[in-house]
Amino acid sequence: MKKAPIFLAPLFQERIWGGSELKKQYGYNIPSGQTGECWAISAHPNGPSVVREGDYIGKTLGELWDEHPELFGHFNSEKFPLLTKILDANDDLSIQVHPNDEFANEFENGEFGKTECWYILDCDEDATMIFGHRAQSKEEFMDMINEGHWGDLLQRIKIKPGDFFYVPSGTIHALCKGTLVLETQQSSDTTYRVYDYDRLGQDGKLRDLHIEKAVEVTTVPHTATKVEPTLDKVTGAVVTTFVEEDYFSVYKWDVQEEAELTQAESFTLASVIEGSGTLITIEGEFPLQKGDHFILPAEVETFKINGSLSIIASHPNHKGSKRLGMVETTRQMANS
Ligand code: ZN
């Protein structure tokens, strides 16, 4: 069944800032009321996804990647490149920064760097997040950290549901209280904490900070990559393109009736964030509901989605060679 979607079972991580929205909003069976992360599509050793049904049931995504490269269009990467999460920030996350590929490879045992992006699924009315900083030089950055001038140093911005943020490695950032986010990121688990509000961890101690590494990898002065979503209407759906960058492209498919879509990618990661419907490929019909996560293998070139639902879809890109996204194909379809 190389033309069927591969459904993956989500995995949950408890965090001191976590909550219970993943149960309330997605019906997931979470381990506690401090569940911060749903690792939805992951081949990372710290939380590998397992195939939920079908031919490959019980296999981890990492095993599939190694044993069946044809499913992934022989995408040229030693490790599965991306990681999809849903994050429930019931409290503020630490102020943090992630390294790029070169730094992580050298200092974090061959890890990928971590460029990430966020689609705001839901948030409190007055929700904010930390995105960037105001220091003009590394020296000033270091001084403001040492003196604890967090209010002056950190840029706080307002957010609302539906917003999208691209967070390249080197960007100082933090999700804040009352935010539910779908994150698409490089497959990496390396975070350098700069400030943690002097909170105690589960063991009653201050959580570790990593200021030296953080200062080294932070982009100074802060530069924001502007993302301007573009909308394309195709039969039965609206396709929003949020970002097409070095490591990934991310889209939203809002299906209203029956959408005919085409995949020109090596493979696509998909997460149903709202509604329900049916995915139809040459292999059959597959029910979709809010909270489902799946991969469309390379050989699924055309497919239909029925129903009323929203899906966040992504595919990896090779750094430096941005590839045509699905939207190119759908644009052609819309024109033809
Ligand atoms: Zn992060």
pLDDT score of 42: 98
pTM over 0.75: yes
Check if the beta carbon of residue 241 is closer than 8 Å to that of residue 230: yes
Cα(117) to centroid(ligand 1), Å? 9
pLDDT score of 2: 78
Among the listed residues 15, 52, 156, 193, the single catalytic one is 193
Cα(10) to centroid(ligand 1), Å? 19
Confidence of residue 1 (pLDDT cuts 50, 70, 90): low
Q: Does the pLDDT value for residue 301 go beyond 70?
A: yes
CA distance 159 to 42: 27
pLDDT score of 204: 86
CATH entry, 230-335, from 3.40.50.150, 3.40.50.1820, 3.40.50.300, 2.60.120.10 = 2.60.120.10
Whether 193 sits among the annotated catalytic residues: the reply is: yes
pLDDT in tens, 8-61: 999 999 999 999 999 999 999 999 999 999 999 999 999 999 999 999 999 999
CA distances from 66 to 2, 6, 333 (A): 15, 15, 34
Cα(327) to centroid(ligand 1), Å? 27
pLDDT score of 227: 86
Q: Does the pLDDT value for residue 329 go beyond 70?
A: no
Who contacts 58 (Cβ-Cβ below 8 Å, separation ≥6)? 50, 51
pLDDT in tens, 216-262: 999 999 998 878 999 999 999 999 999 999 999 999 999 998 999 99
List the domain boundaries for the chain.
9-217, 230-335
Q: Which H helix or E strand runs over 153?
A: helix 150-153
**CATH 2.60.120.10 applies to domain 9-217:** yes
Q: Quick one: average pLDDT of 196-211? A: 86
Which residue in 162, 172, 156 sits closest to 119, CA to CA?
162
pLDDT score of 208: 85
Cα(94) to centroid(ligand 1), Å? 9
Cα(174) to centroid(ligand 1), Å? 7
Which residue in 23, 18, 63, 71 sits closest to 42, CA to CA?
63
pLDDT score of 199: 85
Residue 22: what are its φ and ψ, rounded to 5°? Answer: -65, -30
Q: Quick one: average pLDDT of 278-284? A: 96
pLDDT score of 37: 97
Confidence of residue 207 (pLDDT cuts 50, 70, 90): confident
Cα(116) to centroid(ligand 1), Å? 7
CA distance 41 to 144: 38
Domains 9-217 and 230-335 are alike in CATH topology: yes
